[in-house]
Structure 1
Amino acid sequence: MVKAIARAFRWRDMLESGEYATIREIASAEKINETYVGRVLRLTLLAPAVVESIVDGRQPVRLQLDGLMRQFPVGWPAQSKALGLIS
């Protein structure tokens, strides 16, 4: 999960800096599927507390990368609750 989050922020930085103009360009450069790049980029929408928990290894055991790659709430409080970080 940490690697995917790091990748997401790196790709976002590449888009914001103009190094790449589109998700398609990133996918081509990385030789991976365009939809995967899009799903990974969504990880940049995770609440800072969620990212911190994952980086520190304090996420719930049931929270795996495949779960993060699915749709999650954009609102940070709802997100933390949906991902099992608060009850």
Structure 2
Amino acid sequence: MMPAPDAAIVTIKVPFAVRKRGGRKIVLAPDGMPVPPLAPEIDRTLLKAIARAFRWQKMLETGRYTTIKEIAKAEKINSSYISRVLRLTLLAPATVESVLDGRADAAPTLAEAMKVFPAEWKLQRGARLEA
């Protein structure tokens, strides 16, 4: 069916750009500022790594495995990776909460979290690891 000749057609153009930052796609407004998402975006990769870290820590604490090498053999994963992931158990609680809440602006990326960071929570503030 054709619209009536007197019907007004309205065209709205919204300029925006899609860019990748830290492996994440973000929408940029015309002024270059990121458009906040409607719902929180949880970094599932980082969340999975944190969950693994606490699971492996519990395995060590309960005596199921006595060394990182035993975990590596059982999980078929490189022991150095397990060592780096286990450090995530030292993240400040505020940082872990920001990951769980999907506050991407306050949470580190997995690459940032896997770098060496101070174990003391107060010192993590300057290392982009605390909310």
Cα RMSD over matched residues? 1.7
C-alpha displacement of 1:62: 8.0
Please tell me whether Structure 1 or Structure 2 has the larger radius of gyration of its CA atoms.
Answer: 2
Q: How does 1:4-19 map to 2 (within 5 A)?
A: 4-19=49-64
State TM-score, norm by structure 2.
Answer: 0.61
Structure 2 CA distance for partners of 1:73 and 1:31, relative to 1, 3 Å: same
Cα distance in 2 for partners of 1:62, 1:44 equals: 15
Match of 2:87 among 28, 38, 42: 42
Structure 2 CA distance for partners of 1:15 and 1:83, relative to 1, 3 Å: same
Contact 1:59 1:85 in 2 (8 A): no
Deviations 1:10-58 (A, max 9, x none): 0000000000000000000000100000000000000111111111111
Contact 1:43 1:68 in 2 (8 A): yes
C-alpha displacement of 1:84: 5.6
Instruction: Tell me the percent identity.
Output: 57
Gaps of 5+ in 1: none
More helix per residue: 1
Cα distance in 1 for partners of 2:69, 2:129 equals: 33
Contact 2:47 2:99 in 1 (8 A): yes
Match of 1:3 among 20, 36, 48: 48
More strand per residue: 2
Structure 2 CA distance for partners of 1:12 and 1:34, relative to 1, 3 Å: same
Aligned-partner residue type, residue 69 of structure 1: M
Task: Determine which structure has greater relative contact order: mean sequence separation of CA pairs < 8 Å that are 6+ residues apart, divided by chain length.
Answer: 1
Contact 2:113 2:129 in 1 (8 A): no
| Match status 1:78 vs 2:99 | no
State TM-score, norm by structure 1.
Answer: 0.89
